[in-house]
Amino acid sequence: MGDQPTLTAYGDGLRRVAAGTGGGLFRFALAASNADGALDFGPGLAAANVALPALEQITAGASWRFQAFFRTSTSPCGAGANLTNVLANEFAP
């Protein structure tokens, strides 16, 4: 997750999440998707947020972007890795 947009080639896709004024890119622990290919971090997002320094925490009115990296042996361009579409979210007060 990061708080700024970007457009950078990465693996077979595009990285759309960048570090903003709050610091760097933040990574969650490795996770496996379900049978539908979905990831669910549920309340884990809140716990991860508390662990961040105050300047970098998700706060009311803040916009953050989320994107997942995945490996695939069937990638069309041959890099063996890709990124999901980005999810941009503004957190309401």
Cβ atoms < 10 Å from Cβ of 1: 20
pLDDT at 12: 82
Confidence of residue 75 (pLDDT cuts 50, 70, 90): low
User: Where in the chain are the domains?
Assistant: 1-22+60-93
Among 11-20, 48-57, 66-75, where is mean pLDDT lowest?
A: 48-57
What is the rounded average pLDDT for all residues in the chain? 78
CA angle 3, 53, 87 (to 5 degrees): 25
Instruction: Identify the pLDDT of residue 22.
Output: 60
**Residue 83: pLDDT over 70:** yes
Contact at 8 Å (CB) between 16 and 5? yes
Q: What is the DSSP string of 55-71?
A: GGS--TT-EEEE--EEE
- Does pLDDT of 64 surpass 80? yes
Contact 59, 3 (CB under 8 A): no
**3 state SS of 89:** strand
Task: Please state the pTM of the whole predicted model.
Answer: 0.71
Pairing of strands 87-90, 63-66: antiparallel
Give residue 44's pLDDT. Answer: 61
Which alpha helices (DSSP H) does 1-93 contain, by range? 44-51
